[in-house]
Structure 1
Amino acid sequence: METLANLESFVRSAETGSFSAAARLLALTPAAVSRNVAMLERNLGVRLFQRSTRKLSLTEAGERLLASIGGNLQALQSAISAVSSDRSEPAGVLKVSLAPTFGIGHVLPLLPGFLALYPLIRPEWHFENRQVDLIAEGYDAAIGGGLELTPGVISRTLAAADIVAVASPAYMAGRALPDSPEHLDRFDGIVMRGSRTGRIRQWVMQDGAGNEAQANISENIVLNDPAAMREAAILGLGVTLLVLPDVAANIERGELVRLLPDWYANAGPISLYYPSRTLMPAKTRVFIDFVVEAFQR
């Protein structure tokens, strides 16, 4: 009878197309995953993968085995997880990707309370402006906006991401306030160039009555990070468009003023993303529950 380790190594390698990616998911070395799969092939007497230097691909026999295992492996994993979670405290490295500005401003302050409840968890948090591949890169979770929902990844909404126009009081001193997003081009603009597209991000704003208007921002300063854009606005370098949660505290402190208070652009939600594996480590489960509850409050 095959061991659970051999079957897990086969299924995760098939799902990710890589022994290395499967190893990150299973907390093993790539060599150990490769040995487990080789042992399974030897015991079954068939080749399950075609191997190349770049990727793995299932053979016909491998495809049949993967289809046959189906949810049976997940059911077995769930049973084992349920039993072990009853007697063990959440522990281990918690690898999370976070959008820098939102993560530092709103998620990092939750960490002391989280670690007070779960002292055996060791956070490994990556603050980065990029779209990560949760499964292939071995992340337990990610927090940000617009992550592509690839197969095996689900999301929970944490907050709305309304884009608003802001500038410093010093910059606006002596200047007439704009009365429409189309008139933002009267000011120096601080804009963002997307790292994936290489293009300047454009926004269409709307008001409470449902009217829409293009936000015309001059491209006087081009940056690639929202935190840098916020600091540039605080320094009085011009007008910029940023997510409201990222500038709410600055507005409250009087460092920035919101222009066009009735207008905003919808950037979609800020969400918590995680692999939808039936067998979810206790460390990931308690992190998800803790963060979702905190943002609900």
Structure 2
Amino acid sequence: MEPLNYLASFIQSAETGSFSAAARRLGLTPAAVSKNVARLEASLGLRLFQRSTRSLTLTSGGERFLHQVGGAFSTVQEAIAGVAKDDGQPAGVLKVGMALAFGREHLLPLLDDFLLRYPGVLPDWHFDNHPVDLVGGGFDAAIGGGIVLSPGVIARELLRTDLLVVASPEYMKGRAMPDHPTELARFDGIVRRSASTGRAKVWTLRHDDGDEGQALLRPRVIFDDPEAMAYAAMRGIGVALLPMPHAARWLKSGALLRLLPRWRGEAGTVSIYYPSKKMLPAKTRAFVDHVVEHFRRPEVAAVFDSGRYR
């Protein structure tokens, strides 16, 4: 099987542009990956990569060779994986990255049924509010928003998230309800810091009739975590703009009120990300299908429908 190991090291290095990233994918050391590639080059009599201290790029011969063997190698790997599976059941460690609050609130409840269906899979879940490096980190899948779609990564949308203006009943007691986003300037604001810029985010809200207005909150506190913002709002610290997945539970319980009920912002999408389908292990395929199936259910979609909280 050594030639296959050499090919695996070459293909992963070509896809990631790094021996280190390929090593994380393959569970090897960077030195072992480099050695495998060198042995493949020696057997072919062809230099596949141009190497420097900072970069790894394919030669023209390497590009031709990758094009010739990439698809065939995927087919061989899938065949080997199919033979090796225990009774046809997905198995192995499943490394998944997800945001802390969303994972705990909306993904953890899916785990019981998944483990019953696939007892051979060992979930290794990483909770982090920052997008993970799917390829470089050796993840089988990731769930969230804002993950860069690098070559060989696929995204399947789970839900679109509205941004709602909320506050606690206690905070709004004795205060007049706002009629327009610009009127939020008279309220204490629980503001979110942008992970990319480090500055407080300014949101544009859209009315159901198409009118638009900026939400000009008066900052009282600045957080980088929407779950912390929700808890601060429930403590009566001020008004917050929350993505629907972080607001739904508290709106339903009455712990938070929706202000400007016919206004909403666009908080983006939540998707599940995974490597190219050609080399997708059975454990990853099973997990992706399980999660997508759950979020396609009408009763689940209804939870994230901001129109029900008016």
Q: TM-score, normalised by structure 1?
A: 0.93
Deviations 1:135-154 (Å, cap 9, x if unpaired)?
Answer: 12111111111222221111
Which residue of the partner structure matches residue 263 of structure 1?
263
2:128 aligns with 128
Q: Secondary structure at the match of 1:219?
A: strand
C-alpha contact (below 8 Å) 2:98/2:142 kept by paired residues: yes
**Partner amino acid for 1:238?**
G
Cα distance per residue 1:45-71 (max 9 Å; x no partner)? 233223334332223432332233242
Distance apart, 1:83 and its partner CA: 4.5
User: Structure 1 residues 119 and 86, CA, compared in 2 at 3 Å: closer, same or farther?
Assistant: closer
1:273 alignment partner AA: Y
1:93-122 CA-to-partner distances (Å, cap 9, x unmatched) read 211111222111101121122112222222
Task: List per-residue Cα deviations over 1:71-103 (Å, max 9, x = no partner).
Answer: 232233334444445844212221111122211
User: Take 1:46 and 1:157, find their aligned partners in 2: how far apart are those partners?
Assistant: 42
1:31 is displaced (CA, Å) by 3.5
- Greater displacement, 82-91 / 101-110: 82-91
Gaps of 5+ in 2: 298-310
Q: Which amino acid aligns with 2:159?
A: A
Q: In structure 2, how many angstroms separate the alpha carbons of the residues matched to 1:20 and 1:284?
A: 23
Aligned-partner SS, 1:3: helix
Residue 14 of structure 1: CA displacement? 1.0
Q: Tell me, yes or no, if the aligned pair for 1:251 and 1:257 is still in contact at 8 Å.
A: yes
1:86 and 1:103 map into 2 onto residues whose CA distance is 29
- Aligned residue for 2:147, secondary structure, equals coil
Check the 8 A contact 1:74/1:279 in 2, yes or no: yes
Q: How does 1:142-157 map onto structure 2 within 5 Å?
A: 142-157=142-157
> Which residue pairs with 2:210 in the alignment?
210
Following superposition, the deviation at residue 126 of structure 1 comes to: 1.5
Question: Does the CA-based 8 Å contact 1:17-1:57 persist in structure 2?
Answer: yes
Q: In structure 1, the residue corresponding to 2:219 is in which secondary structure?
A: coil
TM-score, normalised to structure 2, is 0.89
- The percent of aligned pairs where both chains have the same amino acid is 56
| Residue type of the alignment partner of 1:56 | L
Letter in 2 for 1:185: A
More displaced, 56-65 or 150-159? 56-65
The RMSD of aligned alpha carbons is 1.9
Could you tell me which amino acid in structure 2 is paired with residue 78 of structure 1?
A: E
Q: Distance in 2 between matches of 1:32 and 1:184?
A: 59
For the residue of structure 2 that corresponds to 1:138, the secondary structure is: coil
Q: Which moved more, 1:200-209 or 1:40-49?
A: 40-49
1:160 aligns with 160
- The equivalent of 2:302 in structure 1 is none
Q: Secondary structure, in 3 states, of the residue corresponding to 1:269?
A: strand
What is the DSSP-based 3-state SS (H/G/I as helix, E as strand, rest coil) of the residue aligned with 1:232? helix
1:30 equivalent to 2:30? Answer: yes
How far apart are the structure 2 equivalents of 1:105 and 1:89?
A: 28
Larger mean CA deviation between 44-53 and 6-15 belongs to: 44-53
Deviating 4+ runs (over 6 angstroms): none
- Between the aligned partners of 1:271 and 1:124, the Cα distance in structure 2 is 19
Could you tell me which runs of 5 or more consecutive residues in structure 1 were left unpaired when the two chains were aligned.
Answer: none
Q: Is the 8 A contact 1:167 1:234 kept in 2?
A: yes
Which residue of structure 1 lines up, in the alignment, with residue 44 of structure 2?
Answer: 44
Alpha-carbon distance, 1:266 to partner: 1.2
Range that drifts further, 243-252 or 29-38: 29-38
Contact 1:97–1:126 (8 Å) recurs in 2 = yes
Deviation at 1:195, TM superposition (A): 1.9
Higher mean C-alpha displacement, 53-62 vs 214-223: 53-62
Aligned residue identity for 1:129: N
Letter of the aligned partner of 1:252 in structure 2? K
8 Å CA contact retained: 1:81, 1:279:
no
Match of 2:200 in 1: 200
